[in-house]
Structure 1
Amino acid sequence: MINIINSESIKYKRTFIRRLTLLAPLFFIIMALLQKFFIPADYLRPWQLLLDQVYNWWPVIFVPMGIALLATLVALQEKKAGNYLNLEIHNISPSILWTGKIVLMAYHALLATLVLIAAIIVSGLITAGGQIPWIKILSGGFTIWLTSLAVIPLQLWIATWKGTFFSMAMGFIGLIVGVIAAPKSYWMYIPWSWPTRLMVPIIGVHPNGIPLKASDPLRDPSVVPIGIALAIAALIIFTIITAVWFNRREVR
């Protein structure tokens, strides 16, 4: 497995996949710089407003569309590299190769999360005042990463099976459905809603971007361990199911 992951990692060097990992989180630094030009020189907004903005936009927009685009690029890169010809040349198990791709996508998502955390800190130093809320920044970033992992095998499956259009369409539908489901009682049945739903008690902001009162029932912290457990279980289940599908496809 380690050799496969290393081989896949080499394959993606000097591709847009690496650039996507770095560029998407930097959007918030650009936003901070633009805001700095238009706000009074002596005005510093609270860190909470920055976190409300970043941790609302990131799980709502960047996570579903970013993973959809990442899966699309991985599928296209594989076609350019020979459309899984290496399975025949090196006698590699299709299931192991598929799992390796999911692991590598999760790794790139982790890199994007680390860059996002750094971008939040830099953005805050530019536009915010007061002490850096390390706990909220770190817990928010890594919770979004963990709860978004379950979507990776689904997006890779649709990108491999149906191609770019359907992968991006699935990501867009996931974006819409995730936002709608996040404040509802059925949020736990929609994987795209998990990162957004868990940000409510961690950051204290509604999926629509409006700050919530401390007494709001949506801020119940008990959903956090439930969401993380669901995401990990779903990641394992979806990986196994899609790996079986990929194995049967390649064996044929």
Structure 2
Amino acid sequence: MLKYLQAENLKCKRTFIKKLILIAPIVPCLFGVFAGAGFQSNSFNWWYMMILPGYISLMAVMTNEKEQKKLRYRAVFGLPISLKKVWISKVLVNGIYMTFSCMILLVGIILGGHLISNTISVFRIFAGAVLIAVTSLWQIPLCMFLAKKLGMLGTVLVNIGSLFILGDLTVKTSIWWICPYSWTSRIMCSVVGSLPNGMPADIGDPLRNPVVIPIGIILSIILFVLLMIVTANWFEKQEVN
């Protein structure tokens, strides 16, 4: 499996995907500067509510286009290799890139907080970045599947549109756990004390209840594994068009 991971990472060498690892987390920090005292919470909010879903969608599309555009996957389907492992390695490499980006965001928020306004503890910033990465992993196999089926526009519209519509409808309700697009924002309410719209949550607000954290983590990991298995089985049955 390590060789598959190394191969997929090598395919991304000198591509825009590698540049996005650094560029994507810088963007919410730049937007957060305009929030002044709310720099840290707003940087987080921009990240998980807008930039990250778009970033994951673009990574998935670019990962697909590397194989699809030139040879329409002939270079993969024609080799005596495990297509399941190829797919899983693509998902895991994108997951590693996304996690690196969350860690870069973490550093940016900590440093920016010292320069602008430090309102969130380092522990909560670290916990927030890790939880965002864990609870967003499931989007990667989903977006890679969408990228192969719908292309760039369809993937971005479905992923970001679902976040805005389904996530907003459920995040403040008792059925938040049913909708994966509400998991990250609901957990972040508890961790950094800000609502999905970026406004601070009042002390005693039910949305700040930390009981949602283990629930969101468990659900996210289960959904990620299920989506990876289902999409890997689907990819294994693909043929060159």
Same structural fold, with TM-score higher than 0.5 when normalized by the shorter chain: yes
Distance 1:2 1:129 in 2: 41
RMSD over aligned CA atoms reads: 2.1
- 1:230 corresponds to which residue? 219
Distance 1:240 1:129 in 2: 42
Q: Residue 138 of structure 2 contacts residue 221 of structure 2 at CA under 8 Å; is this kept in 1?
A: yes
Distance 1:218 1:31 in 2: 25
- 1:79 corresponds to which residue? 68
- 1:168 corresponds to which residue? 156
1:108 aligned to 2:97? Answer: yes
**Shift of residue 85, structure 1, vs aligned partner:** 2.4
**Shift of residue 162, structure 1, vs aligned partner:** 2.0
Q: Which has the larger radius of gyration?
A: 1
- 1:19 corresponds to which residue? 19
Structure 1's unaligned 5+ residue stretches are 40-44
Q: Which deviates further from its counterpart, 181-190 or 91-100?
A: 181-190
Distance 2:220 2:70 in 1: 31
- 2:133 corresponds to which residue? 145
Distance 1:79 1:227 in 2: 34
**Shift of residue 8, structure 1, vs aligned partner:** 0.7
Amino acid paired to 2:144: L
Query: Where has structure 1 moved over 6 Å in runs of 4 or more?
Result: none
Work out which of the residue numbers 108, 115, 122 in structure 2 matches 1:134.
122
**Shift of residue 16, structure 1, vs aligned partner:** 0.7
Q: TM-score, normalised by structure 2?
A: 0.92
Q: Figure out how many residues of one structure are paired with residues of the other and give that number.
A: 240
Amino acid paired to 1:26: I
Q: Residue 182 of structure 1 contacts residue 197 of structure 1 at CA under 8 Å; is this kept in 2?
A: yes
**Shift of residue 213, structure 1, vs aligned partner:** 1.8
**Superimposed CA distance per residue, residues 71-108 of structure 1 (whole angstroms, 9 cap, x where no aligned partner):** 11111122245332233443111111111100001001
Q: Residue 86 of structure 1 contacts residue 92 of structure 1 at CA under 8 Å; is this kept in 2?
A: no
- 1:155 corresponds to which residue? 143
**Shift of residue 137, structure 1, vs aligned partner:** 0.7
Amino acid paired to 2:26: L
1:4 aligned to 2:4? Answer: yes
Distance 1:129 1:246 in 2: 46
**Superimposed CA distance per residue, residues 232-251 of structure 1 (whole angstroms, 9 cap, x where no aligned partner):** 00000011111111112238
Distance 2:177 2:40 in 1: 24
Amino acid paired to 2:156: M
Work out which of the residue numbers 104, 110, 120 in structure 2 matches 1:121.
110
Distance 1:232 1:24 in 2: 23
Amino acid paired to 1:155: C
Amino acid paired to 1:118: V
Q: Residue 72 of structure 2 contacts residue 240 of structure 2 at CA under 8 Å; is this kept in 1?
A: no
Amino acid paired to 2:176: W
Percent sequence identity is: 31
Work out which of the residue numbers 80, 83, 87 in structure 2 matches 1:94.
83
- 1:207 corresponds to which residue? 196
Work out which of the residue numbers 14, 36, 49 in structure 2 matches 1:60.
49
Q: TM-score, normalised by structure 1?
A: 0.88
Structure 2's unaligned 5+ residue stretches are none
For the residue of structure 1 that corresponds to 2:194, the secondary structure is coil
Relative to structure 1, is the Cα distance of residues 94 and 88 closer, same or farther in structure 2, using a 3 angstrom cutoff? same
Distance 1:9 1:67 in 2: 16
Distance 2:193 2:111 in 1: 22
**Superimposed CA distance per residue, residues 7-53 of structure 1 (whole angstroms, 9 cap, x where no aligned partner):** 11011111110111110111244346x659xx8xxxxx3xxx22321
Work out which of the residue numbers 193, 202, 209 in structure 2 matches 1:220.
209
